[in-house]
């Protein structure tokens, strides 16, 4: 959404994409309303008795006798202004100036006397209509702006970066009124004589003043600050660190050739042998291609002892293998079911959800049953990162648990939230404790983006497909490129499994022709179904053994239940549990396996680059909680996006 260079786009990236949403929320995208709700109306409790409210608590009228200043009355909004607004603004229309027009508009802290006009007391700030003076925690005002009266619209804005307050009158900017404001201020209005009526607009309707443009200016300023932030790099350590981050990322995800080339040009070494990377790459391709049987075999072959020591992981792989059998993609059923009329594999499953944002990564790791080994030989920095992340994780409480059963709708929702705000998704199904370390959902979204582009590219050749891929799905592209083969036009999921053995490719390509027909379980081959059922019993047995040995595990139970539920439907793809057949569900499995392999070699479970992004997001959340308004304009995604 922020792909234009900013300089040439008239519409800004941040404020253009919220039509149809809650307009107040849209003004302040970085505010997490669960922690810090926005002011949306006047408080019916936090007001003096001479104040009356109407029209959804947006209209304020005076109902005292209004003899002198002792009859002044104020009302605060329901919530204080969250710092993560960055720039907060509300407008008040003077419906009637009443008898004398002694009206004050401004801000005050909780607990400030409501039998007063805003500005008269400590931690209270107001602009008064009768004399145009500004009152800064004092009974005597200073000349500030013009007077205001019936029909005028007065706006009050607070810049939470510089902690200053300004006003507008009928859309004209009057300038800064107060500086060095305290935090946690509430929008406040005060009235003093009969007949005074004002209406508030907290953003539910368009403002008279163009606040959006001011926000863009601040955003631009914050971004410039970030981009120009000086990094003292006397000994080139900074650059070396950046190089390492890139290199470890490439290695982690198994982009061998790229990693090799990068390491060559930046003269670094790997922590891992090239063959090991290639092995992992091979396994990842198998998993992502749905060939679980082969994948498990390969792991057992290449990393003896890994699965034997990690039963839960093995169980997860087996369950996935079962699902792939139903899908008709696993090698065991493929071998049997292969026939010219074989119904299509999963690639013709209903269009994957359109997760348009391929770069949304939410790398907060889930609770891991296997904490990082302390005896690891990897760099201490990385260890430290991991632990910090896990501690911040505890603070948030709900990390994304991609491995837990989540409906596609939920995932959609979650990802959509990720696009809007980088706060940790809350839609996660938190009922099931996670046993297996979940993979970052980022990789699943990249998979989804690739598969969505894939589904649409059935009619195109794969050159086009590659071009329309999101940049962050480049590991998929990379795989294709590394094989020097861009001619696959079979629409096969994400271009992985076909690469494992090239001889399959032509058949795959031919099979596409009738891929749009109806799908049948295990490719509709009775022998394959037999095998699948036998395998199912095997998995169930394993589950029982696991239960005996390791105790009850709700997650494993649910996983198995969901998998077996597929058999209850004629058309599992269109069943309530059909989401399991979606190729993107291979991503978390793949990530878990990859992380386990790396961990067994004393390598970090997650690449430092992803940890760094996660850190940054956490820090921005922390800024929000600490009242630092700049966080409103420091969205990691939009900053990364704007630098393309």
Which positions touch another protein (CB under 8 A)? 5-8, 10, 12, 145-146, 169, 171-176, 210, 213-214, 216-217, 219-220
Q: Which is nearer to another protein, 168 or 494 (CB)?
A: 168
Residue 589 CB coordination number (10 Å): 26
The residue among 8 and 459 lying less far from another protein, judged by its C-beta, is: 8
Q: Which is nearer to another protein, 518 or 644 (CB)?
A: 644
Distances from the Cα of 470 to the Cα of 74, 248, 406, 610, 641, angstroms: 53, 21, 24, 17, 12
What tokens does 621 get? 């959340």
- The answer to whether 418 and 364 are in contact (CB under 8 A) is no
Least CB distance from residue 215 to another protein, whole Å? Answer: 9
Cα gap 528→534, rounded to integer Å: 10
Give the SS3 label for residue 155: strand
| Of residues 146 and 433, the one with the C-beta less far from another protein | 146
Distance CA 55, CA 199 (A): 9
Q: Reduced to 3 states, what is the DSSP secondary structure of residue 164?
A: strand
Closest distance of CB 94 from another protein, Å: 16
Query: What sign has the CA pseudo-torsion 394, 399, 403, 407?
Result: positive
Helix (H) / strand (E) containing 177: strand 172-178
User: Nearer Cβ to another protein, position 27 or 411?
Assistant: 27
**Least CB distance to another protein at residue 452 (A):** 29
| Between 7 and 552, CB nearer to another protein | 7
Handedness of CA 256, 262, 265, 268 (dihedral sign): negative
State in angstroms the smallest separation of the CB of 177 from another protein. Answer: 10
Of residues 42 and 178, the one with the C-beta less far from another protein? 178
Is the Cβ of residue 88 or residue 492 nearer to another protein in the bound state?
Answer: 88
Helix (H) / strand (E) containing 221: helix 211-227
Give the Cα separation of 250 and 9 in Å (integer): 33
With respect to another protein, which residue has the nearer C-beta, 216 or 586? 216
Closest distance between another protein and the C-beta of residue 412, in Å? 32
As a whole number of angstroms, the distance between CA 160 and CA 165 comes to 9
- Closest distance to another protein from the beta carbon of 212 (Å): 10
Q: Kindly state the smallest distance separating residue 209's Cβ from another protein, in Å.
A: 9
Phi first, then psi: give them for residue 4, nearest 5 degrees. Answer: -75, 160
To the nearest 10°, report the CA torsion of 468, 474, 476, 481. Answer: 90
Distance CA 124, CA 138 (A): 8
> From the CB of 464, what's the least distance to another protein, in Å?
25
Q: Give CA 21 to chain center in angstroms.
A: 17
The least CB distance from residue 108 to another protein, in Å, is 24
DSSP secondary structure, 457-481, as one string = GGGS-HHHHHHTS-GGGHHHHHHHH
The nearest distance, CB 625 to another protein, in angstroms, is 27
Residue 228 or 503: which CB sits closer to another protein? Answer: 228
Any idea which residue has 């390598």 for tokens?
Answer: 603
CB 633 within 8 A of CB 223: yes
How many residues appear in the chain? Answer: 644
Least distance to another protein, CB of residue 568, Å: 56
Cα–Cα distance, 433 to 552 (Å, whole number) = 12
Between 227 and 506, name the residue whose CB sits nearer to another protein. 227
């Amino acid at each position: 959404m922020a792909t234009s260079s900013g300089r040439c786009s008239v519409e800004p990236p941040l404020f253009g994409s919220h039509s149809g949403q809650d307009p107040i929320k849209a003004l302040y995208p970085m505010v997490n309303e669960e922690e810090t709700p926005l002011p949306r109306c006047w408080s019916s409790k936090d007001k003096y008795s001479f104040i009356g409210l109407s029209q959804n608590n947006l209209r304020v009228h005076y109902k005292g006798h209004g003899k002198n200043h002792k009859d002044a009355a104020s009302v605060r909004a329901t919530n204080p202004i969250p710092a993560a607004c960055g720039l907060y603004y509300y407008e008040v229309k003077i419906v009637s100036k009443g008898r004398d027009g002694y009206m004050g508009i401004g801000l005050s802290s909780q607990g400030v006397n409501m039998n007063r006009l805003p500005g008269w007391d400590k931690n209270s700030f107001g602009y008064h209509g009768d004399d145009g003076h500004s009152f800064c925690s004092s009974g005597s005002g200073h000349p500030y702006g013009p007077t205001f009266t019936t029909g005028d619209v007065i706006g009050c804005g607070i810049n939470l970066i510089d902690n200053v307050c300004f006003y507008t009158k009928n859309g004209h900017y009057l300038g800064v009124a107060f500086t060095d404001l305290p935090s946690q201020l509430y929008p406040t209005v005060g009235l003093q004589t009969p007949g005074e009526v004002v209406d508030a607009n907290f953003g539910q309707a368009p403002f008279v003043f163009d606040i959006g443009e001011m926000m863009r200016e601040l955003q631009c300023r914050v971004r410039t600050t970030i981009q120009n932030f000086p990094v003292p790099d006397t000994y080139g350590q900074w650059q070396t660190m950046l190089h390492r981050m890139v290199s470890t990322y490439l290695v982690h995800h198994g982009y061998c050739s790229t990693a090799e080339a990068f390491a060559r040009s930046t003269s670094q070494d790997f922590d891992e042998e090239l063959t090991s990377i290639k092995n992992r790459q091979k396994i990842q391709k198998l998993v992502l291609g749905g060939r679980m049987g082969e994948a498990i075999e390969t792991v057992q072959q290449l990393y003896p002892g890994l699965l034997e020591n990690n039963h839960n992981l093995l169980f997860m792989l087996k369950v996935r293998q079962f699902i792939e059998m139903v899908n008709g993609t696993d090698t065991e059923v493929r071998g049997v079911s292969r026939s010219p009329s074989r119904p299509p594999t999963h690639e013709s499953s209903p269009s994957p959800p359109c997760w348009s944002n391929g770069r949304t990564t939410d790398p907060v790791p889930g609770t891991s049953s296997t904490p990082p080994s302390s005896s690891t030989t990897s760099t201490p920095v990385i260890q430290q990162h991991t632990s910090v992340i896990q501690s911040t994780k505890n603070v948030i409480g709900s990390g994304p648990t991609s491995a837990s059963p989540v409906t596609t709708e939920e995932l959609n929702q979650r990802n959509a939230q990720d696009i809007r705000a980088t706060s940790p998704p809350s839609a996660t199904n938190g009922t099931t404790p996670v046993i297996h370390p979940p993979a970052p959902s980022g990789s699943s979204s990249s998979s989804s983006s690739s598969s969505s582009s894939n589904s649409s590219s059935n009619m195109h050749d794969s050159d086009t497909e590659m071009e329309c891929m999101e940049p962050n799905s480049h590991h998929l592209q990379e795989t294709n490129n590394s094989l020097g083969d861009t001619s696959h036009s079979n629409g096969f999921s994400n271009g992985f499994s076909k690469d494992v053995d090239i001889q399959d490719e032509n058949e795959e390509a031919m099979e596409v022709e009738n891929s749009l027909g109806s799908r049948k379980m295990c490719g509709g081959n009775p022998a394959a179904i037999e095998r699948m059922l036998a395998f199912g019993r095997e998995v169930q047995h394993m589950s029982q053994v696991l239960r005996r040995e390791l105790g009850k595990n709700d997650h494993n139970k649910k996983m198995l239940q969901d998998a077996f539920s597929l058999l209850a439907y004629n058309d599992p793809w269109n069943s309530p549990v059909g989401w399991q057949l979606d190729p993107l569900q291979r991503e978390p499995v793949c990530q878990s396996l990859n992380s386990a392999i790396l961990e067994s070699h004393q390598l970090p479970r997650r690449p430092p680059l992803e940890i760094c992004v996660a850190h940054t997001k956490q820090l921005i959340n922390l800024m929000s909680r600490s009242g630092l308004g700049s966080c409103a304009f420091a969205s990691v995604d939009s900053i990364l996006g704007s630098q393309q």
